Amino acid sequence: MSDDRDKLLERAIARHQSSGDALIEILHVAQQLYGYLSRPLLKTIARRLKLPPSRVLGVATFYHLFRFSPPKAHSAVVCMGTACYVAGGTELMAALHGRCGANPDKWTMEAGRCLGSCGLAPVVICDGVALSRVTPAQLEAVIEETHDGRSS
């Protein structure tokens, strides 16, 4: 499994002729393959692209979409774009924390950037599924029934 991922990463680097310009592209590929960007992984990328590790870490940490720790079992992203904020994003965030806050190891809870589904505001993405025009009660119910929000 891990061999495959290494090979795929290597292929992506080769496709960009090991060019430092492609750093962000390579980081995207690496995160897709491994789920997150570990320090050893960043070092490998730096070596392969012939860039100082400081440059690679600097670029990776500049952008919001790159993660540096393994993804948790579940994730909930409350959209905090203007439309969702006006439609009650804050209450949804409070409900989410109330329901999952006791389980920080299992849940990634995030206030997300505008998802662009403003016509359906407020929106929460729960394990990749978009819940639209969701109320705090509905969100709690979804967490409870499908994602085992309370148990450890």
Partner 1 sequence: MTAEVLNQTSQAERERQHKLKDRILCCTVAGCLSAGAEAVRTALQEEVQAQGRSSEIEVCGTGCMGLCCRGPLVRSSAADVVYAEVKPQDARALVNGDQSHFEERVIRPDHPFYAGQRRIILANSGKADPELVVDYLAMGGYQSLLRAATEMVPEEIIAEVKKSGLRGRGGAGYPTGLKWELVARHPSPVRYVICNADEGDPGAFMNRSVLEGDPHRVLEGMAIAGRAVGAQQGYIYARGESPLAIARVKTAIEQARREGLLGGRVFDSTFHFQIDVRIGAGAYVCGEETALIASIEGKRGQPVPRPPYPPESGLWGRPTLINNVETFANIPTIIEKGGDWFASIGAKASPGTKVFALAGRVMRTGLVEVPIGTPLRTILFDLGGGVPAGYEFKAAQTGGPAGGCIPAEYLDLPMDYDSLTRIGTMMGSGGLIVMDTSSCMVDVARFFMEFCMDESCGKCIPCRAGTVQMHDILARMTRGEGHESDFAMLEALSGLLKETSLCGLGLAAPNPVLSTLRHFRNEYDAHVRDRRCPAGSCRIPVATEASA
Would you tell me which residues interact with partner 1 (CB under 8 A)?
A: 19-25, 27-28, 58-59, 62-66, 80-83, 85-87, 113-121, 123, 130, 132
| Longest CA pairwise span in the chain (Å) | 52
Smaller CB separation from partner 1, 59 or 106: 59
Supply the minimum distance, in Å, between the C-beta of residue 39 and partner 1: 18
Q: In what order do the strands lie in the sheet with 129-132?
A: 107-112, 74-79, 123-126, 129-132
Environment class of 130 (CB within 10 Å of its CB; exposed 0-12, middle 13-18, buried 19+): middle
Smaller CB separation from partner 1, 38 or 117: 117
Smaller CB separation from partner 1, 5 or 28: 28
Supply the minimum distance, in Å, between the C-beta of residue 31 and partner 1: 9
Smaller CB separation from partner 1, 24 or 141: 24
Smaller CB separation from partner 1, 8 or 120: 120
Supply the minimum distance, in Å, between the C-beta of residue 129 and partner 1: 9
Supply the minimum distance, in Å, between the C-beta of residue 144 and partner 1: 21
Supply the minimum distance, in Å, between the C-beta of residue 3 and partner 1: 26
User: Which distant-in-sequence residues (6+ apart) come within 8 Å of 21 by Cβ?
Assistant: none
Environment class of 16 (CB within 10 Å of its CB; exposed 0-12, middle 13-18, buried 19+): middle
Q: Supply angle C-alpha 108, 58, 15, rounded to 5.
A: 90
